[in-house]
Structure 1
Amino acid sequence: MDLQIYDDPRAFAALADPFYGTDTLRHTVALTVMARFLGMARANPAIMGTLHDNGELIGVALRTPPWPVIVSGLPTDSDVLDSFLTQWLEADPELPGVSGPIENAYAVADVWTKRTGGTTNVTLASRLFRLGELEPPTTTGQAREATEDDVELLVTWRRDFEIEALGFQRDADEGPVEIRRRFEIGDSVVLWEDGGKPVAWANASKPIGGMSRVGPVYTPPEHREHGYGSAVTAAASQHAMDAGADDVILFTDLTNPVSNSIYQKIGYRPVYDSTELEFARLPSTT
């Protein structure tokens, strides 16, 4: 097995794009990261690799620090993954974890724990849903597209969303930049207002290969139980279809039965389960 690590995103994309493009739903996270972030200047550059067996491309992996490595494009064979990790850790010795469909993520994590004696913690358990026939709910208020005037509010809501979903905030200093980037690259950034006041937010990514992913979806606690989350999700989903998306998808938190229920009520159907695992290394004895 040979793992090739890339410095040039274009060289990586030349192989990764067609590989991921064979199943855009399974590789939605990787495709989104490639389209949105690989061309950007970053303090911590992306780590990109393709895995080959006798010259044949058999796997692709991608990490944009501080996030875990995306492993949807890796095989699940333990011997193959042992070779992969041996080479990957040379380029990325501080690998913090993995994310991807559960079978891929746990396959990599199992090999990592055997190699290191460390443990893993589930930081996010999610389910991918695909929109069938959209069935917008009935509630008070209306949708509108967010503007520059809403950036400060959205930065706050982004922070609150991450703390609630993950238990901490990633890249706190990137908040305003990240929100403005959504406008610049053509995402549908949708607010739901009731009585002239924003009460919920949903983002639908600009279609990539005919696919748009809805998220984050956030309703502040004081505005919940009024149907605003369902309404803004439906509005963002309609924006995605109007922008040309053939597949509109979203991830839900499996620990939140409410979100898994409300999205199905507006037309979303489950596709597969995914997870994010954090690696915990044993203390060094040297």
Structure 2
Amino acid sequence: MTWFFTEDADAFRAAAADLLAAEAARNTAVLTLMDRADRLGWWAEPDGRVTGVVAVFPPREPSFGAVTVEAARALVLPEGEPPTAVRGETAAVEAFAEATGRPWTVTVRMRLFRLGELTPPQPAPAGRARVAVEADIPFTAVWAREFARDIGEDVTGKDFTGHVTERVTDGRLVLWETPDGRPVSMASVSRTIEDQARVHLVYTPPAERGRGYAAGATEAVSRAALDSGATQVLLFTDLANPTSNALYQRLGYRPVTDHLTVEFRGEPAPVSG
């Protein structure tokens, strides 16, 4: 049993194809972000079956997909690089973090949801949904930066224009606008891979919150994902935000599994004796 690594996304997909297809929901982060990873890894059992996958993002941050606790505990980054953080399902992250022997701190607790029957918000918010266009990029880039800051990311010096442009170009960013045409909320969806797509970047400026606009944008982008052929529509919520967790469940999303993000601080504790 061992980890194998590659920088070639096609080679990774070929090696881990069965697990990626069988556990598309649990592998959503790896599937939707693997083209941006520094390295991709898979854990092979003695009989050749792949029972775990991981994507390593800069700066040395492994993100687990479906993986056994044993595989998570055994992960060592190529060239022995010490991780700066790790994210994934709770049991796997805790096993990996404890195996490093380094101090670590939980920074985010997330819950993965999967859409059951899409239920429009009641009452419906005023206004309508529309697909974002090129002219919307400047302000949606600002919104994306504020979204990242709100979920705890360090946005110092970061420009989110490219991040938003890709989604606008693909038609994957939806805005909710008031009856007079003023944009007040946004939501995006990933490309559909292995029949799954993930809703993300749901953001409403503080002055516009409490009017149901995020529900309208999320329902619209979820429906668009279904219409594009996704059989599983997923999203992550921060467990520290009961408002968003309740919102998504009213729209028909149901819990799948809990996730952790932890950061490492310092070196392994010295072994006594």
TM-score, structure 2 as length reference = 0.89
1:264-285 per-position Cα deviation (integer Å, ceiling 9, x unaligned): 1111111111111111124999
2:225 partner letter: A
Checking the alignment, whether the CA contact within 8 Å between 1:187 and 1:204 is kept in structure 2 is no
Q: Does residue 108 of structure 1 match 2:96?
A: yes
In the TM superposition, what is the alpha-carbon distance from 1:83 to its structure 2 partner? 3.9
In the TM superposition, what is the alpha-carbon distance from 1:22 to its structure 2 partner? 1.3
Call closer, same or farther: CA 1:271–1:82 in 2, change over 3 Å.
closer
Which residue matches 2:54? 61
Which residue matches 2:38? 46
Alignment of 1:217-236 (within 5 A): 217-236=202-221
Whole-Å Cα distance in 2 between the matches of residues 162 and 155 of structure 1?
A: 11
Corresponding residue SS for 2:168: helix
1:69 partner letter: P
Which residue matches 2:68? 75
Whole-Å Cα distance in 2 between the matches of residues 107 and 283 of structure 1?
A: 15
Whole-Å Cα distance in 1 between the matches of residues 206 and 231 of structure 2?
A: 32
Which residue matches 1:264? 249
Identity of aligned residues (%): 34
In the TM superposition, what is the alpha-carbon distance from 1:187 to its structure 2 partner? 5.0
For structure 1, the residue ranges without an aligned partner over 5 or more in a row are 39-44
Alignment of 1:110-259 (within 5 A): 110-112=98-100, 114=101, 118-137=102-121, 138-169=124-155, 172-173=158-159, 175-184=160-169, 186=170, 188-194=172-178, 195-259=180-244
Checking the alignment, whether the CA contact within 8 Å between 2:175 and 2:183 is kept in structure 1 is yes
In the TM superposition, what is the alpha-carbon distance from 1:55 to its structure 2 partner? 6.0
Whole-Å Cα distance in 1 between the matches of residues 53 and 30 of structure 2?
A: 10
2:53 partner letter: V
Whole-Å Cα distance in 2 between the matches of residues 213 and 69 of structure 1?
A: 19
Whole-Å Cα distance in 2 between the matches of residues 71 and 111 of structure 1?
A: 15
Whole-Å Cα distance in 2 between the matches of residues 67 and 152 of structure 1?
A: 31
For structure 2, the residue ranges without an aligned partner over 5 or more in a row are none
Which residue matches 1:96? 84
Higher alpha-carbon deviation: 7-16 or 133-142: 7-16
CA RMSD, aligned part only? 2.3
Call closer, same or farther: CA 1:151–1:134 in 2, change over 3 Å.
same
Checking the alignment, whether the CA contact within 8 Å between 2:75 and 2:96 is kept in structure 1 is no
Whole-Å Cα distance in 1 between the matches of residues 96 and 207 of structure 2?
A: 40
In the TM superposition, what is the alpha-carbon distance from 1:170 to its structure 2 partner? 7.6
In the TM superposition, what is the alpha-carbon distance from 1:236 to its structure 2 partner? 0.8
In the TM superposition, what is the alpha-carbon distance from 1:181 to its structure 2 partner? 1.6
In the TM superposition, what is the alpha-carbon distance from 1:235 to its structure 2 partner? 0.9
Whole-Å Cα distance in 1 between the matches of residues 207 and 45 of structure 2?
A: 54
Whole-Å Cα distance in 2 between the matches of residues 63 and 273 of structure 1?
A: 20
Whole-Å Cα distance in 2 between the matches of residues 95 and 179 of structure 1?
A: 28
In the TM superposition, what is the alpha-carbon distance from 1:249 to its structure 2 partner? 1.3
In the TM superposition, what is the alpha-carbon distance from 1:167 to its structure 2 partner? 4.5
2:24 partner letter: T
In the TM superposition, what is the alpha-carbon distance from 1:171 to its structure 2 partner? 7.7
Checking the alignment, whether the CA contact within 8 Å between 1:68 and 1:98 is kept in structure 2 is yes
Which residue matches 1:41? none
Which residue matches 1:42? none
In the TM superposition, what is the alpha-carbon distance from 1:230 to its structure 2 partner? 0.9
